């Protein structure tokens, strides 16, 4: 089996991701620079499918460029992760992309996200076990899921930036991608839907709160869209998680549960928006309701203070 065959198996997995991505060898890496027809077709189909699932339209967000080699390189890297050196080199070979400088690049970024999104969620998710499969290359200490995020700007927005960027608060590039997305056709709807749900991963919720806090002043409509979806599409899950987080944080005398804290901090930008507006949220978005418990906990725990989100 060649690297192209490994990449094809991973693209098939990404179309209906279940369990861990398949693995395979990385023979004949040069073939990826001129991939066979079935691999090109699979990449194009996955990108179109992801654009439709996100509601990005076609061409996605109005971007008319072609899909570059990034998706195929990333698919081979994910499939070849048992060979950390070559896998890392493939991920690092993906050309950089900046949608603010190249507004037509959205189709390629959708393509990268179609693989990086589900693969990163598995490789860095709560069920991941990095000790079970080597994912680091000797020449690069970062695990493969972090390299995938670095290569996929759209995934850094809809999932999270790299952990290194979050820890050092150097997430300006991801925020810039989010702002560029807001100016693209259908971009605000896709961004709102991508940010509205609960996540079992504190870094993901922390990023969403940070991004919404950053965008609150210039893009209040986005915040209202996000929290309206949270209170409609994901209401039951949020109600359960908010109640759990309140019990954890109000009754604790020891270490603070990071997931409980991140769950409530997600609502801090909405509390700040309401305070700045000087009016009930129902006056800003009549259909928005059911958030009172979350906002009460945010204010009780002073999570809407400077630096809380």
Per-residue confidence at 307, pLDDT binned at 50, 70, 90? very low
Q: Which residue is it, tokens 């769950």?
A: 263
- Confidence (pLDDT) at 72: 97
Q: Is residue 201 part of a domain?
A: yes
Give CA angle at 31 (30, 34), nearest 5°: 110
**H/E run at residue 45:** helix 37-54
Q: Is residue 165 part of a domain?
A: yes
Is the same domain home to 114 and 73? yes
- Confidence (pLDDT) at 306: 57
- Confidence (pLDDT) at 253: 73
Among 186, 221, 238, residue at a domain's last position: 186
- Confidence (pLDDT) at 52: 96
Is the same domain home to 35 and 150? yes
Q: Is residue 99 part of a domain?
A: yes
User: Would you say 43 and 72 are in contact if contact means Cβ atoms under 8 Å apart?
Assistant: yes
- Identify which of 57, 36, 189 has the alpha carbon closest to the alpha carbon of residue 110: 57
- Confidence (pLDDT) at 101: 67
pTM for the model stands at: 0.91
User: Would you say 216 and 273 are in contact if contact means Cβ atoms under 8 Å apart?
Assistant: yes
Whether omega before 207 lies within 30 degrees of 0, making that bond cis, reads no
Q: Is residue 62 part of a domain?
A: yes
3-state secondary structure of 79: helix
Q: Which residue is it, tokens 């709102």?
A: 192
3-state secondary structure of 27: strand
The tokens for 65 are 């460029």
Q: Is residue 191 part of a domain?
A: no
pLDDT, average across residues 290-294: 96
Is the same domain home to 182 and 296? no
The tokens for 13 are 């997995």
pLDDT, average across residues 220-234: 97
HEC readout, 109-159: HHHHHHHHHHHHHHHCCCCCCHHHCCCCECCECCCHHHHHHHHCHHHHHHC
- Confidence (pLDDT) at 129: 43
Of the chain, the percentage scoring pLDDT greater than 90 comes to 80
The 10s digit of each residue's pLDDT in 127-173 is 654 433 444 444 457 899 999 999 999 999 999 999 999 999 999 99
Is the same domain home to 107 and 213? no
Is the same domain home to 234 and 95? no
The 10s digit of each residue's pLDDT in 67-120 is 899 999 999 999 999 999 999 999 999 988 877 667 668 999 999 999 999 999
Q: Which residue is it, tokens 């570059």?
A: 68
In whole angstroms, give the CA distance from residue 147 to residue 87: 10
Q: What is the DSSP string of 266-297?
A: TTHHHHHHHHHHTS-HHHH-TT--S-HHHHHH
- Largest Cα separation within the chain, whole Å, is 63
The tokens for 69 are 């080699």
Averaged pLDDT score across all residues of the chain: 91
- Confidence (pLDDT) at 1: 83
Among 145, 162, 186, residue at a domain's last position: 186
Is the same domain home to 21 and 152? yes
Is the same domain home to 242 and 168? no
pLDDT higher than 60, residue 191: yes
pLDDT, average across residues 197-224: 97
The tokens for 230 are 């949270």
- Confidence (pLDDT) at 104: 67
Per-residue confidence at 43, pLDDT binned at 50, 70, 90? very high
In whole angstroms, give the CA distance from residue 103 to residue 276: 33
pLDDT, average across residues 10-34: 96
Is the same domain home to 43 and 73? yes
- Identify which of 236, 224, 245 has the alpha carbon closest to the alpha carbon of residue 197: 236
Q: Which residue is it, tokens 């560029």?
A: 180
- Confidence (pLDDT) at 110: 95
Q: Which residue is it, tokens 């507004």?
A: 103
pLDDT higher than 90, residue 192: yes
Is the same domain home to 180 and 275? no
Among 186, 208, 240, residue at a domain's last position: 186
pLDDT, average across residues 4-29: 97
Q: Which DSSP symbol is given to 29?
A: G
- Domain range for 262: 196-309
Count of structural domains within the chain = 2
Q: Is residue 36 part of a domain?
A: yes
Q: Is residue 70 part of a domain?
A: yes
Per-residue confidence at 229, pLDDT binned at 50, 70, 90? very high
- Confidence (pLDDT) at 21: 97
Is the same domain home to 84 and 29? yes
CA neighbours closer than 13 Å in the CB half-sphere of residue 249 = 24
Q: Is residue 208 part of a domain?
A: yes
User: Would you say 11 and 79 are in contact if contact means Cβ atoms under 8 Å apart?
Assistant: no
Is the same domain home to 133 and 240? no
Is the same domain home to 178 and 206? no
């Amino acid at each position: 089996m060649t690297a192209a065959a490994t990449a094809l198996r991973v693209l098939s997995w990404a179309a209906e991701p279940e369990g861990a991505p398949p693995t395979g060898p990385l023979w004949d890496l040069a073939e990826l620079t001129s991939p066979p027809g079935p691999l090109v077709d699979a990449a194009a189909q996955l990108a179109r499918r992801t654009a439709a699932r996100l509601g990005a339209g076609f061409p996605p967000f109005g971007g008319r460029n072609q899909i570059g080699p990034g998706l195929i390189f990333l698919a081979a890297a994910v499939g070849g992760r048992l060979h950390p050196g070559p896998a890392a080199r493939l991920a690092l070979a993906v050309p950089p992309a900046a949608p603010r400088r190249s507004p037509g690049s959205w189709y390629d970024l959708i393509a990268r996200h179609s693989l990086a999104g589900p693969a990163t969620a598995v490789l860095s998710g709560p069920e991941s076990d990095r000790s079970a499969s080597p994912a680091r290359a000797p020449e690069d200490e970062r695990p493969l899921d972090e390299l995938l995020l670095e290569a996929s700007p759209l995934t850094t927005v809809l999932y999270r930036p790299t952990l290194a960027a979050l820890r050092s608060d150097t997430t300006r590039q991801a925020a810039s991608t989010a702002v560029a997305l807001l100016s693209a056709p259908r971009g605000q709807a896709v961004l709102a839907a991508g940010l509205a749900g609960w996540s079992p991963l504190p870094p993901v919720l922390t990023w969403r709160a940070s991004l919404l806090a950053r965008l609150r002043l210039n893009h209040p409509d986005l915040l209202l869209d996000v929290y309206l979806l949270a209170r409609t599409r994901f209401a039951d899950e949020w109600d359960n998680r908010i109640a759990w987080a309140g019990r954890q944080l109000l009754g604790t005398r020891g270490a603070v549960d990071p997931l409980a804290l991140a769950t409530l901090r997600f609502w801090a930008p909405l509390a700040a928006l309401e305070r700045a507006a000087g009016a009930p949220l129902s006056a800003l978005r009549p259909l928005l309701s059911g958030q009172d418990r979350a906002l009460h906990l945010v204010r009780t725990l002073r999570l809407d203070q400077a630096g809380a989100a």
